[in-house]
Amino acid sequence: MPNATLPVLVEVTETESGFETALASETMVKRSDVSVDVLKENLGTEVTSLLEVLESLSESREWGLEEVEIGVSISAEGGVSFIGTASMRAGSALRLRFRKR
């Protein structure tokens, strides 16, 4: 499916110069069509790296890691970020759950 897109809602904030993506109290949400190919590449790269970390954790302990849930934020351009302690309100909309096979 060439040029396929997925609609993604992203937070934006109004500034003096217009709208720009940011964490702020005056946030708005807009729809952005994200390229499926870009999202596939970016999410695949980040998940592969995360799985390497998780596998090393479960190998180094007597008690194995059974399940991990990670929040993910997707930017208007298809960028992927895992959500840490400075999470955005809308960022928790997508969660990836990994379970050891």
Q: Which pLDDT score is estimated for 45?
A: 94
Q: Which of 43-47, 58-62, 66-70 has the lowest mean pLDDT?
A: 58-62
CB 72 within 8 A of CB 81: yes
pLDDT-derived band at 43, boundaries 50, 70, 90: very high
Average pLDDT value for residue range 36-59: 88
Q: Give the pLDDT of residue 58.
A: 65
Mean pLDDT for all residues in the chain:
76
Strand order, beta sheet including 27-35: 18-20, 5-15, 27-35
In the predicted structure, residue 82 carries a pLDDT above the cut 70: yes
Asked if the model's pLDDT at residue 87 lies above 70, the reply is no
- Spans of all domains in the chain: 5-99
Cβ atoms within 10 Å, residue 8: 20
Question: 92 is written with which tokens?
Answer: 């928790």
Name the more confident of 15 and 101: 101
